[in-house]
Amino acid sequence: MQYPEPIAKLIASYMKLPGIGEKTATRLAFYTLGMDEDDVKDFASALTAVKSDLHYCSICGNITEDDPCPICQDKSRDQSKIIVVEHSRDVMAMERMNEYHGLYHVLHGTISPSAGTGPMDINVPSLLERLKKHDEVKEVIIATNASVDGETTAQYLAKLIKPAGIKVTRLAHGLSAGADIDYTDEVTLFKAVEGRTEM
């Protein structure tokens, strides 16, 4: 027996999410069918709004409703430091820590020779451009994850940035190997930033 088309389509959509197989997708689709109509409408509009209302900040690459993003617009923030992270959710993690008041740059990935991702495929050119334009930046703190690709990316960036006379530091790894920044608690993250070492 085949499912009616609307259900089949919803199952197929759920299966596009990471970690969702056919069984879970089917369960979610039938759950959705049983949901309150208003809740389903809110869900659907939240899904579309995340694409239509959000953009990437033209300066730092973070997701934002306004361009430049509120962090880049905030002149009271320390303009001499930039923390470089892999993902927007890492910015949220750093901000939750409430101890860092500098700027950010979001790479949207890592350099990964195994996946064939090079520096031009992620947000590296805009970082270099930004450093060239803003000589008030004195330190770039590389906060890519403690994975092989995260390390490769950190080494690559350090090699490019250091000759410009900018200090390049890396988070201290009280973070366990392979740990993701966004899953790290505030205290550990704060210690990692405080204990950062020059590359």
Q: Which residues bind Zn ion (CB under 5 A)?
A: 57, 59-60, 62, 68-69, 72
For the record, the structure tokens of 53 come out as: 């209302």
Nearest to 82 by CA among 164, 140, 134: 140
Q: Look up tokens 């410009």; give the residue.
A: 164
Nearer to Zn ion, 122 or 146 (CB): 122
- Least Å from the CB of residue 91 to Zn ion: 9
For the record, the structure tokens of 105 come out as: 């740059």
Nearer to Zn ion, 69 or 157 (CB): 69
For the record, the structure tokens of 4 come out as: 């009616």
- Least Å from the CB of residue 182 to Zn ion: 18
Nearer to Zn ion, 57 or 111 (CB): 57
How many Cβ atoms sit within 10 Å of the Cβ of residue 77? 16
- Please name the amino acid found at residue 26: T
Nearer to Zn ion, 68 or 119 (CB): 68
Which segments within 44-89 are labelled E, that is strand?
A: 55-56, 63-64, 81-85
For residue 52, give Cα distances in angstroms to 48, 72, 143. Answer: 6, 21, 29
- Least Å from the CB of residue 57 to Zn ion: 3
Instruction: Measure the CA–CA gap between 194 and 188, rounded to whole angstroms.
Output: 10
How many Cβ atoms sit within 10 Å of the Cβ of residue 114? 8
- Least Å from the CB of residue 68 to Zn ion: 5
Nearer to Zn ion, 14 or 104 (CB): 104
Nearer to Zn ion, 65 or 99 (CB): 65
- Least Å from the CB of residue 125 to Zn ion: 16
- Least Å from the CB of residue 130 to Zn ion: 10
Sheet architecture: strand order including 139-142: 103-106, 81-85, 139-142, 167-170, 197-198
